[in-house]
Each structure stands twice: as C-alpha cells, then as structure tokens.
C-alpha cells in the first residue's frame, strides 16, 4: 500500500515538474467540474423543487435561473478548454518527456542487459507502455479525484441535511468497500491464474498467423494440427478458470451492486424517508426526492471510487517498473581520462569473461514477469517485429560463452584476424574491446592505459565498427553517414560526400533528388529512398570512413553475401583499411590469410597464433580448418 | 480488394458490414449475442424506469393520498424486480462474458487460422494483403464483441430515445421542444468536433509514426550496438523532439475552433435542456399551476436521461463507421479464394520421384515484379543438384514453386511427368523434406521439432541428429530429446544459438524419409568445420534421393551431378562443375573468385575483368 502510494506520488511529481501550468489547470478544471455537478443535481434542483412546493416568488426563481445560465456559460467554457485541449495536450508533453528519460537511460544500459531475457522483457514492456502508463495515471487519477471531491461534498451535505442518510451511506460504503476489495482481489487472482494459458495461447496465435511460420506449417500439416490442438486446450483451460471463479464473482458482484446499493437504498432508506414525509410529515416531498438522489449518488460514487483504486493499483506496477528502470545504474561507467588521439598499442592482458556473472539486474518486483506474458500479446498484435519474447530468445544465444585468459597485442597499423569455431568467443572478444562489456579479470590497455579509466564516449568514438547487421536509419543520408546531429555546413557536406565516394557509393550515378539530404527508407517519408542491400552496405562503410577512426573492427561483414559481392566487399574493405589498425572476424579463412597475425580461437581461448604460413606450418587446428575449406578448390 | 475497400466507407456498406459481424457472432456464440442484447435492454429499462417512472409513481401515489402501506408495496415490488435484474447483470458480467470471450476467441480464430492456413504463400508476401490481414487478425475477437454490443446499443438506444420522448410528451406536450437543443449539440456541434478531431489525427499521424519508429529503434536489440558506438542516438532524440512539437503544434493550431465548438456542444447538450426544462417546469408548477409536483420532479431527472441517451446513441452511430472499416478487412480476408487451396484434391503421387521437370517456368509477384523468367531444366532420380547465383537471383523462389507454395505465372512444373497442379497438394508436399535458411524452431520438445507431429522411430531421429552434428549436444541436455526449446513459456526451456538452430533445422529434414530433399543455405551460420561436416552429411544422406541445394559455397557443390546458375531470374548456365568450368562463364568466374583466395600463392594479381564484372552485378536485395 505504502509502495503504491509512493509510486503515484512519484508520477504526480513527474507531472508537476514537467508541465506545471497544464497540470494545475487540469486539476482546477476537474475540481470545478465536481463542484458544478454537485451544485446542479443537488442544490439547484433542490432549490427549484422546494420553491415549487413551498411557493416562493417566481421572480426570484427567474433571476436565479438567468444567473445560472450565465454562470454555466463560464463553466462550460472552462470545461471545453479542458476537454478539447488541455487534457489531451498534456499527454504528449508527459509521454515524450518520460520516454526521453527512458531513452537516455537505455542508451547507457549495459549491453549485457540484453542477454537477460527477463530484464529485456521488463525493459521493453515497461517502457513501450510508458505512454499508456501516463494516460492511465491521468485518467484514473482524474476520475479518482472527481469522485473523491463529490463524495466529500455529499458527505457534508448529508451531514447538514439528514444524519440518518449519512449513517446509511457510510455503512453501505464500508460494506461495499470490503466486498469490493474481496471482489477485485478475486478478479486479480483469476487474472493471474489465466496468465500462463494466455501466454501460451498468444504464442500459438503468433505461430498460426504470422508469415514467418507459414512455410513450415504448410510443409508439416501435422504440426499445424498439433498447435491447433494446443490452442483448443488453452481455451478449455481458460474457460475452466473463468467458470471456477465466475460463480464466486457472480455472488460477490450481486451483493455489492444490488444488496448494498439498490436494496439498501430503495428498501431501506426510501421507506424511512417516506415514513418521515408521509406519517411524521417532518420533511417535504422535494427534500425527500433530493435526499434520496443524494444518498444514491454517494453510494454509487463510493462504488466507482473503488474501481478507480483498483485501476491505480494496477498502474502502480507499471510506474514501479519504469522507476526502477530509470534508477538503474550501468555497470560500465565512464572513466575520467582523456583518450590519446593516436593508437600505439592495444593490449589484452589475461582477460577472462563470462556472460551474466554478477551483472544481474533486479527487477521491480513480483508478478512483473508474469505480466510480461499477457502484455506481450498486445505488443505482438500490433507489430510482430517488436515481440519481446522472440527478441530475447535471440539474444539469449550468446549466454554460456566465456573467455579464458586471453592475451593479445595489436600495434598501430597491424591487421589481425580472429578465426575459429562457432561459440568460441570471437564476437565476445571484440565486444570487450569496444567496452560493451567489462572483463571479469584481466585488463584491456589502450596505449598502456586501462580502458576503464578512459572517457567512455570518447573511447568508443575512436573505434569504427562494421557489423553484418548494420542498420539504415529513417533519417537523411547525411545523418546516416555522420551518425550524429548534422550542422549542414559545407565542410561537413564535403566530408560526407567524400566518405560515400570512397565507400563506392557514387552520388552522381545514383541521382538522388536531394543529394545527401535525401531521406532514407519509406518509413515515413513519401520521397524516402530505399537503398538496396549493396548500397546500404556501402553507406555503412562510409560511416566508418567519415569518422576516420584509427581502429576498425569488422565482425563477419560479408557472411550473408553471394560470392561476387563478398569478394567485392572484401576488396573494398582491404583498400579502405590500408593505413588503419584492423581487427576482423571471419569464417572464411581466405579473407584472414593476409592478416599480420591470425588468432585461432576455440572454447574461449586462443589456441594458436601467427601468420598464415606459420600456422599452416604448425599443422594445428588452423591448418586443419584451412585444409577443409581450401581442399575443395585445389 | 481495393474496390471493396471503398464500400466499407459508405453508409450502406457500413450497415452491411456490421450486420455481417452480427451474423458471425450469432454463429460462433448465440448465447453471448442474445444475452448481450438482453443486458443492454435491461440497462435501458432500468435507466428509464428510475428516471421517468419510479419517482413520478411514488409522488403521484402520495398526491393521490394512497396509504403508506400501498407505497411500501410498490417499493417492495420494485426491489423484487430489480433483484432479478441485478442477479442477471452480475451473472452476465462475471460468468457469461469471460466464458463466452473464450468461446469467441476459439471460434473466430479457428475460422481465421483455417483460412490463413489455406491461403497460398504469395498472399503473405504481398505487402498490401499482409498489412490488411494483420489488421484483420489483431484483436478481432474483441472487435467482434464490441460490434455486437454497439449494434444492440443502437437498436435498443433507438427504442430508449423513443420511449423517453413519449414519456416527456405525456408530461407536457411542449417540453419535447427542449430536445432540439441536445439534438443540435449532438449532431451539429459533436459532428463538427469529430470531423475536426479526425483532421487533427490525420495531420499528426506522421509525427506519431516517427515517435513509434524512434521508440522501436531504442528498444530493439539489433540497434543496441550502434546506439552505443555512435551518436545516432542524438539524431533519434531530435526526431522525437520534432515529433512532439509536431503533435502539440497541431493541437494548438486548432485550439480556438475546437474550444468554441466544444463550448457550443456542452451548452446545447446540457445547459439549455437542463436549465431550460427546470425553468419551464418551475413556471408551469408555480405560475400557471398546471403541473403537479410529481411531474416536475420527474422532469428534472428525465431530461438528464434524454441527453445521456442521445449522447450514447450518437457515439454508437459513429462507432458503426469505425468498426466497418475493420470489418471490411476481415470480410475481404474471409472472402478471399486462394488460387492454391491447401486442401486441393487431386491424384495421389507415387512414392518414388523419378523426375522433376521445369518447363519454361516464369514467375512474377502480383505487384508485377518478375522474379523468374523462362526456367527450364530437369532432374532425374538420385540426382544431386545445386542452385547457385547472386543474392536476389530467384533461387529461393524456385524452391517455393517446386513446393507449390505458389504456382508459376507461365510454364509448368512436372513431377514424374505429371503437372504438379494435378496432385493432391498435401500428399504432393509429403514427397519433400526441406530445410530453409530461416527455418523456425517451435516452442516444443526437440522430438516434436524433428518429427513435426508425424510418427517417426527413435533410431531415425538419432541418426538425423548425428547427421546434423548435434547428437552429443542433445544427449547432454538434462531432458534429452524431450527438452523443451525456447523460453516462450517454459521457464527452464533451452535456447539454442543460431548455429545450433540451423543444425536442428537440417536434422528435421534428415529425419524425414522422403524421395526429395531440399536445403536452402543450410550452413550460413556455421563455422568452417561444422559446415564441412554438415555438407558431407547432406551428400552422404542424399544418395538415393533427389537433392536440391542452394549454396554460396561453391566448393561444397562442385561434385554435384548438376549445377544450375541463376542470374537476374534467368537460368544462365547448367551442367556439371567440369562442363561449367570449361564453358568459362558466370559460374567459372564465381568459382575462380572464391578459389583463388585459397590458392597457396599469397599475392595474387587482381584480375581486372572481375572487378568490372563485379561492378555490373545486380544490386543485392534480400532473397525473397
């Protein structure tokens, strides 16, 4: 309970600090509405009925009515601003700001976090839902506030008008509160019990309808049948749970909505009022009508406020997750020292590393992971590409790989190659070099300085990385090459064009409408250009050239290409990297043979090193591997 | 389809679509359909009863000087009636709705899956079809129930509007004139507001898409490395800020019009009728003294109901149009007749495949993009054949045609001399075992992932695993063959690496004793040793069958009986390795390109021809 309140307060503080004016205006409008509603339904109608019954002067009624008409002109104007503008207007302001905070954090998040599916799921779920979380907070919060104010008004009204009504209303509210709590708890329990089956069903849904699985299912109709059967079973399980809880919920719901609302009102309170009006004749008929309406509204609002509370509680889980994400501290922290502009040596000394050792992230709390299953249904329905579960599974693949006691030295201008088996730790090694992870033991030295002491941004900027899975961003070509905010200066234009040209992307041949300021991808620009695979690759290479880094790391840039493209790419890379320090990973030993030093890796260790000739002469693992690949071409 | 899309927008089409949905709901869950209506009906009854009848009755009883006991009796009857009503409500909400929700999910999706399973693959690759299919599929069970509720709301709303007006007229003929105000409010002002809201939405939709895109980039693991290694984050951040400015700017641009319209709406819908009726009632009771207090009291509650019923009613009318667009997608999908229904009957193929022949086969997507042109070749029993060529040359498409995922636009494919269209589709596909490059792992046991639901004996499975080089891996797992893969919903599920997945997909093909085997780049994620072993297994295992393999590693295909070279969708060369080398064409140059890198002499002269040729190669685009 305390925790939940603290989450709501945190959100409240966030709203106030982000958009104070809008927030307070909304707050004001909301309070004003409650007061007017109370006035209209209770005071104003009461006054009129009373005036009619008691026979007050009609001119008084007429003047007051005129006043009310004018008053409402102002009131409805404020309401209109609220409904048509301010309440909607605050949403993007809050969500965009919250998202930016999340992004800023996400950027510094250790890459290792992506290896933990639980963390990743939570990250994706809590942050992709940031907008819904804010909206829920605003909507449930406003409803809560509105009802609370009305309840207070009605309580005070009844206090003044009819104590018996107040006592009855309070009793009903209390019983209702207890019943409602039991009801919502039961509902929550049912929801949790349904989650595993719903999660399973969401998976079956994906398999049965997504394109990705279409081929396999057509080739194997039996599998299709099996999954359909599972789908049936899941639905049966869900149906059973619904029936099992349904009976209890039915009774609780009935007690809550009928016995302690309508029954007490019409069979308890109303006869009492009638008794007073008809037998004792100590209240007027009009006050009887008004009092009945007031008590009815009090009880109904109390019932609704409970629903609001349950909504707010549900939302507090999400706020909690966002909060704990925002308070996450990355394990990889920037050092203080400036980075030497030029690289003399890069040394790995006795480096060991295991995935997932001690860098765990501890999530917001219980129940969060289970939620993941249910929410992922919604996510996947909208965009299959965003499926957290699938993405996490992919990521998971690397876990278990380790590096043991790696020693390696690269001097300025050297080209070294990392070769070896799947899972030998090559990619892990270069990720350590890029300081995407820190080693468990041993050090990585840049010109003799531990990279952990260097400024992180500066250090990473000094490394050019070419991956196989480079991405083209929906931004201009210029931004895609510069990979930073562009100033649009002539100097910059010249450099970007030069980089593209050297990468083999010839602007004059491509004839882009806006030259390098052409937007890429048709994601949201109608005039956007979709580059072909080859062109995107060139643009990706131009990134490295533009930044003119001394150290270039290439992780199998060519493995998905056909022989001709692969050959061409390798030639281009060779040219580009001529005067640079290069580390590259390759399964194609032919591309590795020209390296100054080849490191053969197996099970996280360097088992052989030397030039191509030396390694062949040694007759070890490398030479066997070479033999296997080269034999066919002899 | 585009023709039909329009009809979803017209009024008439909208009504038809909604009725279609109602029929569908009736078929899947008649219980839900009926009880939803009853629930709405009772709701309206309750509302009108309490706002327009109950109090009037009590007051007029008092005015007519009925006894206290009589009034109590009336109260008792009311309470008793509503006991039943509320008992029904609670039953409907807490028991019927959750249970029928499941029933609808089951019934509707079963129907949709069946249809989707029957659609041929080219539909999925047609972006427009797929997008609309995705829309039709997403949360359609919830849409169905919403549509049903909405239709009842309109139907019973009409009745409620009529009844409430009659009630007003019965109290006073002239008071009905006040209804004009909420009518203007709901139809004139709210109509204009809705149009404006739509315009604002339209104008800011691009900004929302930009924001969504940025959100995706930040969240997907694929972008994680680049976000850390470069400053592209700042570009994304700027885009997000621009999007925010765009959204809020659009809202601000229309603020005056919006607020004024909203003002008019609120004033007409609520103030004029509420205050007006109260004033009129007060006048009639107090000055002309022609209205009893009971009527006045009931007027004050009745006019509230009239306004709210109208609001609900107009909202429901709007929903009809919105739902209609969605239903149109669903209907189009349900009405779609696939050119190759999965259950196409036909003659049963023989268990032996003696020949496969492509005769002048061309294939183009519906969009008109031609992928294959005039392909002709034939394979005989026990022949091993390789498909090589550039990315995007049409290799995978050729395989898909052979598996009859689509039909050629021209030409024909013959198996055992008979056009494959003649065969029973399911039985025909059983002739093939295929391992695709993007082969999928299912969240089930390893055994199920191999057998794919068929009965296969244990030994064949073990052999298949050892052929693919993952037998030891599987045996070392605590659950062995019964280990569940992926963490989709098994907490202790095993997640395989990319290479291991590829091996498992190959093992799946090995485990099936079919006359034809197809491998589409089976080794792209494997290291050289594993690749070599897998290739050896494929060849060893392929003897005695027809083997079709797509590979970029020319070394692994050179001892195949037949090599087909595809370029730009055409079959440019075919023959054995020796023949093709002798012909000195595309294949020979590709081969030399790869081979020279493995020759022993280190410094090779860069062949100029190659470079020029390379420059001419078609741009690489992802293999479809």
User: Is the pLDDT assigned to residue B603 strictly greater than 60?
Assistant: no
Predicted pLDDT at A49: 87
Put the strands of the sheet holding B516-520 in their side by side order. Answer: B418-419, B410-415, B355-364, B370-380, B570-575, B562-567, B384-389, B546-550, B516-520, B432-435
> Looking at the complex, does the CB of residue A37 fall below 8 Å from at least one CB of chain B?
no
Judged by average pLDDT, the poorest of A114-118, A202-206, B86-90, B219-223 is A114-118
Q: Give CA–CA dist A288/B245, Å, rounded.
A: 54
Predicted pLDDT at B193: 92
Structural domain boundaries of chain A? Answer: 2-326, 413-437+451-631
Predicted pLDDT at B44: 92
- Band of the pLDDT at A8, cuts 50, 70, 90? very high
Asked if residues B530 and B469 have their Cβ atoms less than 8 Å apart, the reply is yes
DSSP for B191-258, please give it. HHHHHHHHHHHHHHHHHHHHHHHHHHHHH-GGGHHHHHHSSHHHHHHHHHHHHHHHHHHHHHHTHHHH
Q: Give CA–CA dist B560/B557, Å, rounded.
A: 6
Burial class for A239, CB neighbours closer than 10 Å (0-12, 13-18, 19+): buried
Residues of B in contact with A398 (CB under 8 A): 497
Residues of A in contact with B486 (CB under 8 A): 393
- Band of the pLDDT at A241, cuts 50, 70, 90? very high
Q: How far B87 CA sits from the closest chain A CA (Å)? A: 6
Two structure tokens written together for B358? 């492509």
Substitution target from A221, A292, A322, A425 for chain B, most B beta carbons within 10 A: A221
Burial class for B572, CB neighbours closer than 10 Å (0-12, 13-18, 19+): middle
| Partner residue opposite A107 with nearest CB, options B227, B247, B486 | B227
User: Is the pLDDT assigned to residue B613 strictly greater than 50?
Assistant: no
The predicted complex's ipTM stands at 0.85
> Looking at the complex, does the CB of residue A253 fall below 8 Å from at least one CB of chain B?
yes
| Partner residue opposite A465 with nearest CB, options B229, B262, B486 | B229
- What is the average pLDDT across A569-587? 80
Q: How far A29 CA sits from the closest chain B CA (Å)? A: 14
Please report which helix (H) or strand (E) contains residue B398, including its range: helix B395-402
CB pairs under 8 A between A and B: 458
User: Is the pLDDT assigned to residue A385 strictly greater than 60?
Assistant: no
Q: Tell how far CA B446 is from the center of its chain.
A: 28
Predicted pLDDT at A571: 77
Q: Phi and psi for A397 in degrees, rounded to 5?
A: -50, -35
Q: Give CA–CA dist B489/B483, Å, rounded.
A: 13
Mean pLDDT of chain B: 84
Q: Name the CATH architecture for the domain at A413-437+451-631.
A: 3-Layer(aba) Sandwich (3.40)
Asked if residues A4 and A316 have their Cβ atoms less than 8 Å apart, the reply is yes
- Band of the pLDDT at A356, cuts 50, 70, 90? low
Q: How far A2 CA sits from the closest chain B CA (Å)? A: 30
Higher pLDDT, B601 or A589: A589
Q: How far B361 CA sits from the closest chain A CA (Å)? A: 21
Between the CA of residue A366 and those of A231, A362, A369, A372, what are the distances in Å? 28, 11, 7, 11
SS3 at position A123: helix
Q: Give CA–CA dist A15/A86, Å, rounded.
A: 13
Picking from B21, B78, B88, the residue whose alpha carbon sits closest to that of residue B326 is B21
Residues of A in contact with B52 (CB under 8 A): none
> Looking at the complex, does the CB of residue A71 fall below 8 Å from at least one CB of chain B?
no
Residues of A in contact with B489 (CB under 8 A): 196, 199-200, 203, 373
Two structure tokens written together for B328? 């149109």
What chain B residue is nearest to A424 in terms of C-alpha separation? B527
> Looking at the complex, does the CB of residue B601 fall below 8 Å from at least one CB of chain A?
no
**Which residues, including other chains, have CB under 8 Å from residue A329's CB and lie 6 or more apart?**
none
Q: How far B19 CA sits from the closest chain A CA (Å)? A: 25
**Which residues, including other chains, have CB under 8 Å from residue B45's CB and lie 6 or more apart?**
B85
Substitution target from A562, A568, A624 for chain B, most B beta carbons within 10 A: A562
Question: pLDDT tens digit string along A256-286?
Answer: 889 888 898 998 899 999 999 889 888 888 8
Question: pLDDT tens digit string along B208-258?
Answer: 989 988 988 888 877 888 888 888 888 899 999 999 999 999 999 999 999
Interior angle at CA B418, CA B412 and CA B421, nearest 5? 60
Two structure tokens written together for B557? 């295909």
Q: Give CA–CA dist B183/B164, Å, rounded.
A: 14
Portion of chain A with pLDDT greater than 90, in percent: 24
Residues of A in contact with B75 (CB under 8 A): 266-267, 270-271, 274
User: Is the pLDDT assigned to residue B28 strictly greater than 80?
Assistant: yes
- What is the average pLDDT across A591-620? 86
User: Is the pLDDT assigned to residue B351 strictly greater than 80?
Assistant: yes
User: Is the pLDDT assigned to residue A567 strictly greater than 60?
Assistant: yes
Q: Give CA–CA dist A283/A269, Å, rounded.
A: 14
Q: Let me know if domain A2-326 sits in CATH 1.20.1560.10.
A: yes
Q: Phi and psi for A491 in degrees, rounded to 5?
A: -55, -45
User: Is the pLDDT assigned to residue B7 strictly greater than 70?
Assistant: no
User: DSSP alpha helices (H): ranges in A397-506?
Assistant: 426-433, 456-461, 477-482, 490-502
Could you say which residues from 179 to 198 on chain A have a Cβ atom under 8 Å away from some Cβ of chain B? 196
What chain A residue is nearest to B135 in terms of C-alpha separation? A382
Q: Which range in A502-516, A542-556, B120-134 is most confidently predicted, on average pLDDT?
A: A542-556
Q: Phi and psi for B592 in degrees, rounded to 5?
A: -65, -35
> Looking at the complex, does the CB of residue B187 fall below 8 Å from at least one CB of chain A?
no
| Partner residue opposite B213 with nearest CB, options A227, A278, A524 | A524
> Looking at the complex, does the CB of residue A262 fall below 8 Å from at least one CB of chain B?
yes
Residues of B in contact with A40 (CB under 8 A): 274
Substitution target from A94, A132, A218, A598 for chain B, most B beta carbons within 10 A: A218
Q: Give CA–CA dist A537/B248, Å, rounded.
A: 37
> Looking at the complex, does the CB of residue B256 fall below 8 Å from at least one CB of chain A?
no
Question: pLDDT tens digit string along A476-491?
Answer: 888 888 888 777 788 8
Predicted pLDDT at A401: 62
Residues of B in contact with A392 (CB under 8 A): 221, 487
Query: In order of start, what are the domains of chain B with their CATH numbers?
Result: 1-172+321-338 (no CATH), 174-290 (no CATH), 342-431+546-619 (3.40.50.300)
Burial class for A618, CB neighbours closer than 10 Å (0-12, 13-18, 19+): middle
Two structure tokens written together for B444? 């089930």
Please indicate whether, in this complex, the C-beta atoms of A214 and B488 are within 8 angstroms of each other. Answer: no
User: Is the pLDDT assigned to residue A555 strictly greater than 90?
Assistant: no
Residues of A in contact with B497 (CB under 8 A): 397-398, 422-423
Q: Give CA–CA dist B215/A103, Å, rounded.
A: 8
Residues of B in contact with A565 (CB under 8 A): 390-391, 614, 617, 620
> Looking at the complex, does the CB of residue B228 fall below 8 Å from at least one CB of chain A?
yes
Q: Give CA–CA dist A588/A603, Å, rounded.
A: 19
Predicted pLDDT at A534: 72
How many Cα atoms occupy the beta-carbon half-sphere of B139 within 13 Å? 16
- What is the average pLDDT across B323-335? 86
User: Is the pLDDT assigned to residue B556 strictly greater than 70?
Assistant: yes
Question: pLDDT tens digit string along B422-439?
Answer: 899 888 988 998 888 878
Asked if residues B510 and B488 have their Cβ atoms less than 8 Å apart, the reply is no
- Which residues does residue A476 pair with via DSSP β-bridges, in sequence order? A519
Predicted pLDDT at B80: 93
- Band of the pLDDT at A560, cuts 50, 70, 90? low
- Answer whether A2-326 and A413-437+451-631 agree in fold: no
Predicted pLDDT at A242: 94
> Looking at the complex, does the CB of residue A54 fall below 8 Å from at least one CB of chain B?
no
Whole-model pTM above 0.90?
no
- What is the average pLDDT across B250-275? 92
> Looking at the complex, does the CB of residue B139 fall below 8 Å from at least one CB of chain A?
yes
Residues of A in contact with B235 (CB under 8 A): 473, 475, 479, 483-485
Predicted pLDDT at A76: 92
Question: To 10 degrees, what angle do helices B293-335 and B97-118 make?
Answer: 20
Substitution target from B56, B60, B79, B201 for chain A, most A beta carbons within 10 A: B79
- Band of the pLDDT at A370, cuts 50, 70, 90? very low
User: DSSP alpha helices (H): ranges in A210-326?
Assistant: 214-219, 221-254, 270-274, 285-326
Predicted pLDDT at A235: 94
- What is the average pLDDT across B196-208? 90
- Band of the pLDDT at A364, cuts 50, 70, 90? very low
DSSP type of residue B126? S
Mean pLDDT of chain A: 83
| Partner residue opposite B555 with nearest CB, options A205, A543, A633 | A633
Two structure tokens written together for A266? 């019409």
Q: Tell how far CA B83 is from the center of its chain.
A: 43
| Partner residue opposite A562 with nearest CB, options B58, B224, B552 | B552
Picking from B578, B91, B30, the residue whose alpha carbon sits closest to that of residue A258 is B91
Higher pLDDT, B1 or B556: B556
User: Is the pLDDT assigned to residue A40 strictly greater than 80?
Assistant: yes
- Band of the pLDDT at A186, cuts 50, 70, 90? very high
- Band of the pLDDT at A362, cuts 50, 70, 90? very low
Burial class for B568, CB neighbours closer than 10 Å (0-12, 13-18, 19+): middle
Q: Give CA–CA dist B216/A360, Å, rounded.
A: 24
Higher pLDDT, A488 or B26: B26
- What is the average pLDDT across B265-288? 88
Asked if residues B82 and B46 have their Cβ atoms less than 8 Å apart, the reply is yes
Please indicate whether, in this complex, the C-beta atoms of B219 and A128 are within 8 angstroms of each other. Answer: yes
Q: How far A300 CA sits from the closest chain B CA (Å)? A: 14
- What is the average pLDDT across B155-181? 88
User: Is the pLDDT assigned to residue A24 strictly greater than 70?
Assistant: yes
Residues of A in contact with B93 (CB under 8 A): 253
- Band of the pLDDT at B599, cuts 50, 70, 90? low
Asked if residues B274 and A104 have their Cβ atoms less than 8 Å apart, the reply is no
- Which residues does residue B415 pair with via DSSP β-bridges, in sequence order? B356, B418
Question: pLDDT tens digit string along B376-399?
Answer: 998 888 888 998 887 777 888 898
Could you say which residues from 68 to 97 on chain B have a Cβ atom under 8 Å away from some Cβ of chain A? 68, 71-72, 75-76, 78-79, 82-83, 86-87, 89-91, 93-95
Question: pLDDT tens digit string along A337-346?
Answer: 888 778 888 8
- What is the average pLDDT across B154-174? 89
Predicted pLDDT at A353: 87
Higher pLDDT, A619 or A378: A619
Portion of chain A with pLDDT greater than 70, in percent: 91
- What is the average pLDDT across A409-438? 86
Question: pLDDT tens digit string along A507-547?
Answer: 777 777 778 888 887 777 777 777 777 778 788 888 888 88
Higher pLDDT, B172 or A90: A90
Judged by average pLDDT, the poorest of A138-152, A435-449, A503-517 is A503-517
């Amino acid at each position: 309970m305390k925790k939940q309140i603290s989450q709501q307060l945190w959100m409240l503080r966030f709203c106030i600090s982000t958009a104070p004016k809008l927030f307070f205006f909304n707050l004001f409008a909301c309070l004003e509405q409650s007061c007017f509603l109370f006035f209209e339904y209770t005071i104003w109608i009461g006054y009129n009925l009373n005036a009619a019954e008691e026979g007050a002067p009609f001119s008084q009624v007429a003047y007051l009515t005129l006043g009310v008409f004018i008053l409402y002109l102002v009131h409805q104007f404020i309401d209109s601003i609220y409904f048509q503008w301010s309440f909607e207007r605050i949403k993007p302001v809050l969500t965009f700001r919250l998202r930016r905070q999340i992004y800023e954090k996400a950027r510094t998040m250790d890459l290792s976090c992506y290896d933990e599916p639980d963390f990743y799921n939570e990250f994706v779920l809590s942050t992709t839902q940031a907008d819904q979380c804010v909206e829920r907070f605003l909507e449930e919060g406003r409803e809560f506030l509105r009802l609370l104010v009305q309840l207070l008004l009605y309580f005070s009204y009844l206090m003044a008008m009819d104590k018996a009504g107040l006592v009855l209303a309070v009793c009903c509210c209390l019983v209702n509160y207890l019943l409602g709590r039991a009801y919502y708890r039961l509902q929550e329990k049912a929801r949790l019990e349904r989650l595993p089956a719903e999660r399973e069903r969401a998976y079956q849904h994906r398999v049965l309808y997504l394109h990705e699985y279409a081929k396999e299912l057509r080739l194997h109709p039996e599998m299709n049948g099996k999954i359909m059967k599972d789908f049936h079973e899941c639905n049966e399980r869900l149906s059973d749970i619904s029936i099992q809880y349904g009976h209890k919920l039915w009774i609780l719901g009935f007690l809550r909505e009928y016995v302690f609302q309508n029954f007490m009102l019409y069979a308890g309170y109303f006869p009492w009022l009638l008794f007073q009006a008809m037998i004792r004749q100590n209240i007027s008929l009009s006050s009887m009508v008004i009092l009945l309406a007031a008590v009815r509204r009090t009880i109904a609002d109390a019932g609704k406020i409970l629903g609001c509370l349950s909504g707010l509680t549900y939302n507090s889980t999400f706020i909690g997750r966002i909060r704990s994400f925002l308070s996450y501290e990355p394990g990889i922290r920037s050092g203080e020292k400036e980075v030497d502009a030029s690289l003399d040596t890069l040394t790995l000394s006795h480096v060991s590393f295991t995935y997932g050792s001690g860098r765990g992230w501890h999530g917001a709390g219980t129940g969060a992971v289970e939620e993941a299953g249910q929410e992922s249904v919604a996510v996947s329905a909208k965009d299959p590409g965003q499926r957290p579960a699938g993405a996490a599974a992919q990521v998971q693949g690397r876990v278990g790989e380790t590096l043991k006691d790696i020693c390696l030295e690269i001097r300025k201008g050297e080209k070294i190659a990392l070769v070896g088996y799947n899972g030998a730790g090559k990619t892990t090694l270069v990720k350590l070099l890029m300081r995407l992870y820190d080693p468990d033991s041993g050090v990585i030295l840049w010109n003799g300085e531990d990279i952990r002491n260097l400024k992180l941004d500066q250090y990473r900027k000094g490394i050019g990385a070419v991956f196989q899975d480079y991405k083209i961003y929906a931004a201009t070509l210029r931004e895609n090459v510069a990979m930073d905010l562009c100033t649009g200066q002539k100097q910059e234009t010249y450099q970007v064009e030069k980089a593209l040209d050297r990468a083999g992307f010839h602007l004059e041949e491509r004839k882009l409408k806006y030259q390098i300021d052409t937007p890429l991808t048709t994601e949201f620009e109608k005039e956007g250009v979709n580059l072909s695979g080859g062109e995107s690759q060139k643009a990706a290479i131009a990134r490295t050239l533009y930044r003119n880094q001394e150290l270039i790391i290439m992780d199998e840039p060519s493995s998905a290409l056909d022989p001709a493209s692969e050959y061409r790419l390798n030639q281009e890379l060779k040219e580009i990297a001529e005067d640079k320090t290069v580390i590259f990973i390759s399964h194609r030993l032919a591309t590795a043979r020209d390296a100054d030093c080849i490191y053969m890796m197996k099970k996280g260790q360097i088992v052989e090193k030397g030039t191509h000739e030396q390694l062949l002469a040694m007759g070890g693992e490398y030479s066997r591997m070479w033999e296997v690949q080269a034999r066919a071409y002899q | 389809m585009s023709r039909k899309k329009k009809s979803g927008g017209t009024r008439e089409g909208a009504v038809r679509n909604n009725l279609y949905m109602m029929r569908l709901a009736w078929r899947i869950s008649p219980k839900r359909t009926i009880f939803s209506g009853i629930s709405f009906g009772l709701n309206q009854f309750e509302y009108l009863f309490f706002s327009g009848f109950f109090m009037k009755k009590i007051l007029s009883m008092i005015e007519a000087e009925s006894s206290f006991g009589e009034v109590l009796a009336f109260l008792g009857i009311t309470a008793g009636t509503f006991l039943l009503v509320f008992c029904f409500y609670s039953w409907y909400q807490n028991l019927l709705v959750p249970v029928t929700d499941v029933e609808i999910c089951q019934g509707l999706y079963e129907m949709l899956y069946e249809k989707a399973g029957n659609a041929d693959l080219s539909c999925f690759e047609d972006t427009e079809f797929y997008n609309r299919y995705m829309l039709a599929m997403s949360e359609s069970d919830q849409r169905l129930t919403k549509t049903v509720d909405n239709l009842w709301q309109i139907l019973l709303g009409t009745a409620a509007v009529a009844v409430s007006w009659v009630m007003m007229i019965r109290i006073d003929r002239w008071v009905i004139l006040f209804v004009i105000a909420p009518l203007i409010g709901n139809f004139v002002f709210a109509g204009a507001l809705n149009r404006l809201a739509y315009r604002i939405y339209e104008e800011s939709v691009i900004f929302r898409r930009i924001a969504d895109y940025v959100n995706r980039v930040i969240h997907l693991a694929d972008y994680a490395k680049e976000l850390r290694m470069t400053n592209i984050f700042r570009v994304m951040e700027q885009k997000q800020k621009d999007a925010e400015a765009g959204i809020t700017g659009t809202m601000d641009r229309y603020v005056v019009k919006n607020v004024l319209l909203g003002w008019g709406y609120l004033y007409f819908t609520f103030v004029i009728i509420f205050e007006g009726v109260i004033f009129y009632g007060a006048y009639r009771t107090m000055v002309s003294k022609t209205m009893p207090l009971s009527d006045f009291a009931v007027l004050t509650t009745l006019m509230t109901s009239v306004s709210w019923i109208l609001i609900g009613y107009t909202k429901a009318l709007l929903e009809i149009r919105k739902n209609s667009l969605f239903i149109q997608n669903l209907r189009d999908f349900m009405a779609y007749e696939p050119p190759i229904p999965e259950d196409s009957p036909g003659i049963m193929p023989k268990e032996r495949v003696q020949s496969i022949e492509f005769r002048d086969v061309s294939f183009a997507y519906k969009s008109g993009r031609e992928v294959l042109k005039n392909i002709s070749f034939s394979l005989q029993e026990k022949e091993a054949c390789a498909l090589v060529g550039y990315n995007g040359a049409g290799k995978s498409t050729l395989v898909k045609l052979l598996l009859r995922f689509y039909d050629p636009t021209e030409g024909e494919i013959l198996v055992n001399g008979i056009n494959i269209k003649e065969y029973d589709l399911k039985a025909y596909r059983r002739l093939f075992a295929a391992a695709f490059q993007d082969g999928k792992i299912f969240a089930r046991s390893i055994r199920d992932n191999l057998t794919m639901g068929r009965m296969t004996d244990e030994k064949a499975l073990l052999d298949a695993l050892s052929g693919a080089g993952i037998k030891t891996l599987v045996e070392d797992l605590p659950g062995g063959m019964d280990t569940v893969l992926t963490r989709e919903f098994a907490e202790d599920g095993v997640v395989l690496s990319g290479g291991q997945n590829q091996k498992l997909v190959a093992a799946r093909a090995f485990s099936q004793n079919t006359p034809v085997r197809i491998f589409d780049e089976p080794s792209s994620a494997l290291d050289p040793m594993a690749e070599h072993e897998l290739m050896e297994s494929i060849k060893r295992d392929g003897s005695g069958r027809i083997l079709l393999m797509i590979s970029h590693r020319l070394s692994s295909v050179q001892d195949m009986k037949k090599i087909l070279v595809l370029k730009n969708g055409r079959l440019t060369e075919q023959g054995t390795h020796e023949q093709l080398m002798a012909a000195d064409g595309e294949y020979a140059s590709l081969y030399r390109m790869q081979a020279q890198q493995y020759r022993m002499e280190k410094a090779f002269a860069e062949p100029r021809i190659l470079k020029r040729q390379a420059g001419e190669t078609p741009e690489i685009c992802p293999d479809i």
